Each structure stands twice: as C-alpha cells, then as structure tokens.
Amino acid sequence: MHLVKNSTITFNNQAGSAWYALYTRHQHEKAVAKILSTRGFEVFLPLYFVIHRWKDRFKQLSLPLFPCYVFLYGKLEQRPEILSTPGVYFFVGSASQPAPLPQAEIESLQRLVERRMQLEPHPFLKCGDWVRIKSGPLEGIQGILARKKNSLRLVLSVELLRKSIAVEVDSSVVERCLRPDWTVLSGREAEVAFLT
C-alpha cells in the first residue's frame, strides 16, 4: 500500500492490468486503501500534510490529495471483489466500463510524493501553458503553469478525476512544451479537434 513518503510504486506488467481510480465514501480513503492492500492489491493514496489548530493544541494531519479517490492497479476481472470492499462506491469511468488512468500521470504523482515537496490540492485548470520541468529532481514532469501571488506553480492534473495538485517551481527550470498525447480533450477543444 502506498500512502505517503518514500514508497515506490512497482508497475506490475501483468497482462490486462492498469491503474484505475476508485470513488470512495467521504473520509474513508485510508481505510479503503488499507483493506485493499491487505487483500493483495497494489494501492496508491497520495497524501499531503497540514497543521490543524484546535482551541488547546496544534496537530499535523495527513489528508488525501484527491478526497474520495484511491488509485488501484489491477484487472477488470477483479472488479466484483474490489467493489465489495466497504467504503468503495464505484470505479471512475463511463457507466458501463471503468476508465484506466494513464501510467504517466500516476508516475508523476508518485515522483512528487516521493520528493516530499510541499504539495496541496489545487482547482482543476484546463487553460494555461503546458510546461515541462527541464532540470532538477523533478525533471521531465509536465503540467500547467499557474501563478499564485508572487510564485509560480506547476499544476499536475489527473484528467479523468478532474482534480489537480500544485507544486511551487522556479521559473528558470520550466520550459513550454506541447500538450502530452495522453491528455484527454473535452468540451470545446474536442469539437475544434474533431472539425480540423
């Protein structure tokens, strides 16, 4: 089970296996990840840390970067067993078929979590320049460049979930790049692409 820290995702090259997003009951992500992990599934639950203040104390909490979602590497034949897990509502995808996530998105998320960067959830962005980090420990990661106050942030999006996270970057280490081929076109962009 990959909840946080320096865990490395091992991509099992089993035929028919892929990464899927599971939609879970609110605040049951950690329990679902633990149950699925004990059942032998490869699970990834990226977390971030926040300091919460009560009247009498402060406490550091670990919260899911993508609330109500857990990532699972498996086969569609295992779907009934996965859906019988307490707290799991459904696979993310169309009504008839779960949609697999691009492995590149999961690998990028894993690299950010491994580096213990200051991560935080970020509103999903569709417009903006696609950039690639050209040097440093995050070299090769692509995302949308956004500005927050006086700093630049790289926004990494999981298209299927319509969720994003942001990490602060220095403008000198990013370069504009083409939209990656694993991104999904939606809405007006898909119409324009279809017409041309």
SS3 percent helix, strand, coil of the chain, rounded to 5, is: 20, 35, 45
Q: Return the bridge partners of 93, or none.
A: 98
The segment with the largest mean pLDDT, out of 1-15, 19-33, 136-150, is 19-33
Residue 93 has pLDDT above 80, yes or no: yes
191 and 109 within one domain: yes
The pLDDT mean for the chain works out to 80
Residue 80 has pLDDT above 80, yes or no: yes
Average pLDDT over residues 106-113: 91
Domain boundary among 54, 72, 101: 101
Residue-level pLDDT at 41: 96
189 and 132 within one domain: yes
The segment with the largest mean pLDDT, out of 88-92, 95-99, 109-113, 192-196, is 88-92
- Residue 191 in any domain: the answer is yes
Least confident of 70-84, 98-112, 121-135, 169-183: 121-135
| Distance between first and last Cα of the chain | 44
Q: Which amino acid is at 108?
A: S
186 and 112 within one domain: yes
97 and 22 within one domain: yes
94/193: higher pLDDT: 94
Contact 40, 72 (CB under 8 A): no
148 and 109 within one domain: yes
166 and 131 within one domain: yes
Domain boundary among 42, 77, 101: 101
d(CA 165, CA 143): 10
Residue-level pLDDT at 24: 98
Sheet with 130-133, strands from edge to edge, namely: 120-122, 163-169, 151-158, 142-148, 130-133, 174-176
Domain boundary among 101, 132, 165: 101
d(CA 16, CA 76): 8
- Residue 73 in any domain: the answer is yes
| Banded pLDDT at 14 (limits 50, 70, 90) | low
Q: Residue 112 sits in a domain of what CATH number?
A: 2.30.30
Name 174's Cβ contacts closer than 8 Å, sequence gap at least 6.
Answer: 131, 132, 133, 134, 145, 152, 154
112 and 77 within one domain: no
What tokens were used for 175? 């370069």
Domain count along the chain: 2
Residue-level pLDDT at 137: 87
Q: Residue 97 sits in a domain of what CATH number?
A: 3.30.70.940
Residue pLDDT, tens place only, 149-189: 767 777 887 878 888 888 888 777 778 788 776 555 444 44
141 and 91 within one domain: no
- Residue 140 in any domain: the answer is yes
State which residues form the domain around 112.
104-195
- Residue 2 in any domain: the answer is no
